[in-house]
Each structure stands twice: as C-alpha cells, then as structure tokens.
Amino acid sequence: MTPAQLRAYSAVVRLGSVRAAARELGMTDSGVSMHIAQLRKELGDPLYSRGPSGLVFTPGGLCLAGRSAEILGLQRQTAIEVGQAGHGRRMLRIAASPLFAEHAAPGLVDLFASAATNLSVEVSVHPVRRFADLVASRAVDVALGPRAPDKRGQLSVCPFLHYEVLTVCAADHPLAHTSPPLSRLREQQWFLGPSAAAGDGPMRHMLRGLGIPDSHKRVFPSDASAIEAVRQSTALTVALRYAVGDELFDGTLGVVDGPDLRADGDWCATTLARRHLQPATTELLHIITTPHCRQAMTRSAGADITHYTPHTHVVRWN
C-alpha cells in the first residue's frame, strides 16, 4: 500500500464517489480508480460496491477506511516532527471547542508555550463531534473541550476543569434576580455567541431545553461580544460564570434564576492512549491539571473579539 493509494481511498470514503475524490485530489477519475484497483488486488478484498443509495463497504473496506486515516495522519505528523526537529523545534497541534478556544485556550497556551522549550503550538477550532476522528487520525495531538464521544474506545480522556453556565442580563433588566416562567423567557430577545448558537455543549443543550424560538435569537461572532451587547440592551444571554464574575460582582450584570437556566460541565483533554503520545502532549497533560494552569485559563476569560474567529481560526504560539 502506498500513501497515494491510501489518500485516494480515504477521499472516496469521505466524499462518497470516485469523481468527487478525483476533483479534490486534482487527479483524473481513472487515476483514482487505478489506485483503488491496486488496493483491491493487494488486499484481496473488493472494499466496497455501489448500491442504490451510495457506496456499500465490506467489513474489510471499513477496516481500511479507519486505518488509512490513521496511517496518513501518522505520516503527516512524522513529516511535521522531522521538519521541526531539523530546525530545533517541536509542534503541538490542539483542537479546541469554540467555548474553550475563546475563554480558556489563550491563558493555557501562553502559560504552556512560555514554560516549554523549542515548542510551537497550533490551535484550531472544531465541533466536539469531530474530536474523536481528529485525534484518532493524528490530525491533532490533543482535543480540549467537552468530553468527546468515543465509539471505538481508542481514546484517553482526562477531565481538568469544571465550569458553570448562567443566564445573565443587564443589571436593570426586569428579569434580573427573578425566576420567570418559561413562557416569559420565550418572549425575550437572546444574544448568543457561537457556542450557544451552534455548539454541542451545555449552552446549546440548555437553550434547546428552553425552546427559545429562532426568531428571538441573534448570533454574535463571540461570547464576549454577545455579553457586551446584553449589557447595553434588554436581551438575555448564557455565559460562563467565571467569564462574567467581575460584572456580577460590580452589579453591571444580573443573573436570571431558575433550575433550567443553569448548566455545568467539565472540560477534558482527549488524546490517544498514553503510550502513543509525543512528549509535548505528555507535558501538556501534566501541566493542565495544576492549580497554576487552572488559574491561567480562568483569568483569560473573554478574549478580544478581534482575535477570535469561530470554527476556522488557527493561532500559532512560538
């Protein structure tokens, strides 16, 4: 099996057709088909057939789909590590959920990168549902955010920070420090950051439970910008307790009470099994549970909106 064959097969699996795979890889359809034919011959397995609703994979084809992603990820990681080593540097690639990326990643990475030697850190923002595939394929070294579903049982999960989500409003809002009925909450305007509007953590689940109509939601590019807009309006929002702690203390924001208006969760570090980790990942797992690191993450709450772009943002610390 060659990397070119595995790339072709992985693209067919992911995109569902030879033509789409060829277009993505910049090849001809016949070139992709040739790679697939060579794999079938070498492995003695048809890998997949075409059914009425798309490709139907054999058990061997499904096995190769997972292995090809893992092998190609390992190849990419090796190329990066060799290149970094040749220049005396190492690379740590982190996938982060939108909420973690905005409120905790800056403090964590600043602390870790300043303590580690010859290290570059790359942070990319992804939905939690992609964590398992990103880590298993070695596209990233560690995923930070809510616990990721692991259907294959291949991953190691280390909880490191508990957090609480509150419903807040301007201090002079009529609902501040009250427990309004659900009907009243559904009448309100809600200003939401990306984690609450389209994430897959406690904020999103809480809003779904409340049944807030989409027509009453306005989405902002960051949680920080949503909170700032709420401070100057009659809207409500959901926020991390530690992100709005100063505003709650000085009275510029108020809490809307109620059992359905609070949620909590744990941020976790998701990695491969410990024996497969590169040294930089092991170093991160060691520091991430320390009180010093927890303080750095919570102190950095509310990154400046100009330095945060959800879903696609990649930041490197050197």
Tens digit of pLDDT for each residue in 149-181? 877 777 899 999 999 999 999 999 999 999 999
The 10s digit of each residue's pLDDT in 215-265 is 899 888 788 888 989 988 999 999 999 889 889 999 999 999 988 899 888
9 token code pair: 């097969």
Which residues touch 28 (CB under 8 Å, ≥6 apart)?
Answer: 22
Residues 231 and 170: their CA atoms lie apart, in Å, by: 5
Q: Per the structure block, which two tokens stand in for 114?
A: 């300043």
The Cα angle at residue 253 between residues 249 and 259, in degrees rounded to 5: 95
The residue extents of the domains of the chain are: 3-73, 90-318
Question: If we measure between CA atoms, which residue out of 236, 269, 270, 272 comes closest to residue 254?
Answer: 236
Amino acid in the structure at residue 174: P
CA distance 211 to 206: 9
17 pLDDT exceeds 50? yes
Q: Is 30 helix (H, G, I), strand (E, B) or coil?
A: helix
List the structure tokens of 204: 């999103």
Tokens 């406690």, residue?
A: 202
Domain 3-73 has CATH 1.10.10.10: yes
Single pTM value for the model: 0.66
What tokens appear for 210 in the block? 């409340």
CATH 3.40.190.290 fits 90-318, yes or no: yes
In angstroms, the CA 180 to CA 168 distance is 13
The reply to whether domains 3-73 and 90-318 share a CATH topology is no
| SS3 (DSSP) at 16 | coil
* Percent of the chain with pLDDT strictly greater than 90: 30
